[in-house]
Structure 1
Amino acid sequence: MSARWLDDELEDADTVPAPRSKFKTKRPLGRRKLATLTTESDDADDILRRLKDLGHVTEIVAELKSGKEATAYVARGPRGSVLVKLYRELEARSFKNDAIYREGTVILKDRDRRAIENRTRTGLQMLQSGWVNAEYAHLWTLWHAGLNVPEPLVGPDPYDYSATTPAVLMKLIGTEDEPAPRLSDAALTPAEATSAWEQSVTGLSQLLRLGFVHGDYSTYNLLWWENTVIIIDFPQLVTRQNPNFRDLLARDVQSLVTSFRKHGVHADPDTVLRDVQRRAAGPAPEPRLVLP
């Protein structure tokens, strides 16, 4: 395998900032009712209406952000403000090189494995469903374990959250008028930057302690709200069964170090990697109590 294999596979990952626009939008793009919602495709409208029919969403407030992988909407539901992460169809997504994350995953049926490898329509649908269900499953695992992640709002039974594919619903971090910014976009004081760095390294070590590597860990997938770092974006999370586990961990450390330079934090990746591994052997966060 060539030395550039990981960069080639992840050339579309979110660790690289998108081109800057002259016009920055810090808040949702106005309040938009579901009945008047216009999105990039009729399919997206149908999915949002299905979420409403299922009772998970009562109103779409605004489109928050449209990225390479998904469009995020601010919505309201029975439990308050909701973030709806609506994944694009796999054919239209730029992040097609997801094979490295699936290595080590056993697919029992030969027919299913061939469909995925050949990226047939059925295979793409299976990948789409698996990607969304993986994010829900990981969110529930990390939320229960006490990590700073958004609270998932459907599940934890896979039967429930599979009905929302290709959308993932979670509690909105921030408020409707001021959703939490990504750390990459946040203006931090030196003291805040130091705190955010410490929390981010701790978060990476907590993932490792649970046997996970994020796979795309940087300030572009960390939120900053009320002086707290919140980790987001988990469909590509990998376990030690993946043969790329160590390389992905090292890449996460490098991405975190590189993306924090904007905030005046300069660290040596090798030193940080050793620190993350050391911390991973320490105490776990307090698990959240799950009420019946």
Structure 2
Amino acid sequence: MSARWLEDELNGAGIQAERRTKHKAKKPLGRRRLETLTADAETGEAGDDIIRRLMALGHITEVVAELKSGKEATAYVARGPHGSVLVKLYRDLEARSFKRDGVYREGQVILDQRAARAMASRSRKGLEMLQAGWVSAEYAHLWHLWSAGLQVPEPLVGPSPFEYSATTPAVLMRLIGTEDQPAPRLSDAPLTPEEARNAWKQSVQGMADLLRLGYAHGDYSTYNLLWWENTVTIIDFPQLTTRQNPNFTELLRRDAQSLATSFRKHGIQADGETTLREVQRRAAGQGPAPRVVLP
């Protein structure tokens, strides 16, 4: 899968989302309360229309807990036909504290000029398209990285944009850990010195694997790395950027610095430039074995 393929996928998903948009004003949705997402005991229906849609599509059967609330989305633990699911539910762009997303989108080619103008002006329709694009980007990146063999959560909807565009503003992936004990972020995990060294090596390798595919994560640190059964899992991909982005080199350098800085609490003493050189050296080597994605 190429960066151009991803670009075409995201363009297609964004245009589909525009066509489905209902032309009516609505209050921007921020963090959803758990009680509105869970099904009523008598009716069996959830109070939130997005969750009802996910249930109607057969992706989940119930929401059981809130896991984590971040600057742009809240993660919930749910159950589905194939086990435990993590539902990442994005806030509307107007309700998000993280709004400076242009630096990550530079270099992208939007084939629909009308859509490009709407997104650039951040009109109501443009914001809705940006929201759909943000969700579609995470799905597309997850599928690309998962099939390439990287240690990322398994996406549970797709790989066709037609399938995953129907879940906007939610991204569904397999839960890392268990319902009773979801995997902690590396920033929160208590590590022994040996575990810290192991986690550091895996984290550097993960960044190198991304670079080998032509990507910079854009927010790579222990806050976006999970630790479960001595394995590091990379998360949070909507801001992933390619070499077409004029900010690519700076974002890559910033990732290396963020990784080095965030690991200091675990006793790893490394600087950003040394980390970047090691990432670049490893990126020239062989990558992980690709996964087979069944139809």
TM over 0.5: yes
Distance, in Å, in 2 between the alignment partners of 1:35 and 1:81 is 20
Alignment correspondent of 2:219: 216
Alignment correspondent of 1:35: 40
Q: CA deviation at 1:253?
A: 0.3
The 3 A distance-change label for structure 1 pair 270 and 151 is same
Alignment correspondent of 1:66: 69
Letter matched to residue 275 of structure 1: E
Give RMSD over aligned pairs: 1.6
Deviations 1:27-72 (CA, angstroms, capped at 9, x unpaired): xx99x84227xxxxxx981111110111000111111112211111
Distance, in Å, in 1 between the alignment partners of 2:126 and 2:209 is 33
Q: CA deviation at 1:159?
A: 0.3
Distance, in Å, in 2 between the alignment partners of 1:48 and 1:70 is 15
Deviations 1:5-41 (CA, angstroms, capped at 9, x unpaired): xxxxxxxxxxxxxxxxxxxxxxxx99x84227xxxxx
Alignment correspondent of 2:108: 105
Distance, in Å, in 2 between the alignment partners of 1:81 and 1:102 is 32
Letter matched to residue 40 of structure 2: A
| 1:114 correspondence with 2:120 | no
Q: CA deviation at 1:209?
A: 0.2
* TM-score, structure 1 as length reference: 0.85
Q: CA deviation at 1:205?
A: 0.2
| 1:248 correspondence with 2:251 | yes
Distance, in Å, in 2 between the alignment partners of 1:259 and 1:119 is 34
| 1:191 correspondence with 2:171 | no
Deviations 1:243-276 (CA, angstroms, capped at 9, x unpaired): 0000000000000011001111110211111110
Alignment correspondent of 2:8: none
* TM-score, structure 2 as length reference: 0.85
8 Å CA contact 2:154–2:174 kept in 1: the answer is yes
Alignment correspondent of 1:161: 164
Structure 2 counterparts to residues 90-101 of structure 1, below 5 A: 90-101=93-104
Distance, in Å, in 2 between the alignment partners of 1:68 and 1:278 is 33
| 1:150 correspondence with 2:153 | yes
Distance, in Å, in 2 between the alignment partners of 1:173 and 1:160 is 23
Letter matched to residue 182 of structure 1: R
Distance, in Å, in 2 between the alignment partners of 1:108 and 1:291 is 30
Distance, in Å, in 2 between the alignment partners of 1:140 and 1:237 is 13
Deviations 1:113-159 (CA, angstroms, capped at 9, x unpaired): 22111110000001000000000000000000000000000000110
| 1:175 correspondence with 2:178 | yes
Aligned residue-pair number: 257
Describe the SS at the equivalent of 2:177.
coil
8 Å CA contact 2:261–2:271 kept in 1: the answer is no
Query: Which of 249, 273, 280 is 1:270 aligned to?
Result: 273
Alignment correspondent of 1:48: 51
Alignment correspondent of 2:27: none
8 Å CA contact 2:61–2:79 kept in 1: the answer is yes
Distance, in Å, in 2 between the alignment partners of 1:172 and 1:238 is 25
Distance, in Å, in 1 between the alignment partners of 2:75 and 2:202 is 25
Letter matched to residue 277 of structure 1: Q
